[in-house]
Copies of this chain bind each other. A is one copy, B any other.
Amino acid sequence: MESKEPGKKIRVAIVEDHDIFRKRLTELLGFYDELELVFTADSGETCLKQVFESEPEKMPDVILMDIELPGISGIETTFQLKEKFEEIDIIMFTVFEDDERLFESIQVGATGYLLKDTAIDEVVSSLKEVREGGSPITPSIARKLIRMVSKPKKENSSKSEPEVVPFDLSPAEIRILEQVIDGKSNKEIAEEVFLSPWTVKTHIKNIYKKMHVNSRAAAVRLALKRDIV
């Protein structure tokens, strides 16, 4: 893992709705010459706007993203960002050690996950690490991650494949998603899988929710991109 651009300053952005915290963080990061703060935002919307409007030379390398945000969440924002700007590393920054959101963060493409009580120079080294191909996470979060990866050794080792399905799609949903990818309409899918069109529709709605999309085309693209089929 090599550093992406050894000599250069790391361009950092902060997304944090809590004014005092954001300002404090801004101030602290200001002491580090190796960092360049390109913008701060107090909401996901503002962040997206900022990034989309950034000049190439002001595009952040890393974003410190609060999870709890007014309006669209940090997770959603991350998802949106990674769709368009895959090269930006995003470190989730939160007060909670929340399994669910940790998992979601990873799903949508966050690279690191730090707690807000992390010391400032650890935050700074995290920013560097992430640019060098690492994933800064606190040890306690690492343990959660490890639990996710390791088998819940509950008997039953007969199950062959762990079958890592991105987006947590249920078997029924995957079956239907495949049909959607084939360009079929709800009615056609219903006939194919012997279900009512209403059911098919419901499944598709749930698929959209899980995949964060709102059209067949987007779902197909994502599914193919992530090798779900």
- Copy tally for this chain in the complex stands at 2
Chain A, residues 158-193, CB within 8 Å of chain B (1/0): the string is 000000101000000000000011111100000000
Q: How far is the CA of A137 from the CA of B112 in the complex (A)?
A: 13
Nearest residue in B to A213 (C-beta to C-beta)?
Answer: B183
Is A134's beta carbon under 8 Å from chain B? yes
Q: How far is the CA of A150 from the CA of B104 in the complex (A)?
A: 9
Contacts A135-B139, A135-B143, A145-B145 given; does A151 touch B224 at CB 8 Å? no
Is A226's beta carbon under 8 Å from chain B? yes
Contacts A180-B217, A217-B216 given; does A142 touch B135 at CB 8 Å? yes
Contacts A215-B183, A217-B180, A218-B182 given; does A146 touch B139 at CB 8 Å? no
In the complex, what residues of B have CB within 8 A of residue A111's CB? Answer: 143, 146
Nearest residue in B to A140 (C-beta to C-beta)?
Answer: B134
Is A18's beta carbon under 8 Å from chain B? no
Flag if B224 contacts A149 (CB, 8 Å).
no
Flag if A149 contacts B150 (CB, 8 Å).
no
In the complex, what residues of B have CB within 8 A of residue A221's CB? Answer: 181-183, 220, 224
**Which positions 101-145 of chain A face chain B at CB distance < 8 Å?**
103, 106-107, 109, 111-112, 126, 129-130, 132-140, 142-143, 145
Q: How far is the CA of A154 from the CA of B164 in the complex (A)?
A: 13
Contacts A138-B134, A142-B134, A182-B221 given; does A149 touch B215 at CB 8 Å? no
Flag if B107 contacts A151 (CB, 8 Å).
yes
Q: How far is the CA of A151 from the CA of B220 in the complex (A)?
A: 16
Could you list 16 examples of A-B contacts with CB < 8 Å? A106-B149, A107-B150, A107-B151, A109-B150, A134-B142, A137-B142, A145-B145, A148-B164, A151-B227, A152-B164, A153-B227, A154-B227, A182-B221, A183-B214, A185-B215, A220-B220
Which A residues form the contact surface with B (CB < 8 A)? Answer: 1, 103, 106-107, 109, 111-112, 126, 129-130, 132-140, 142-143, 145-146, 148-154, 164, 166, 180-185, 213-221, 224-227
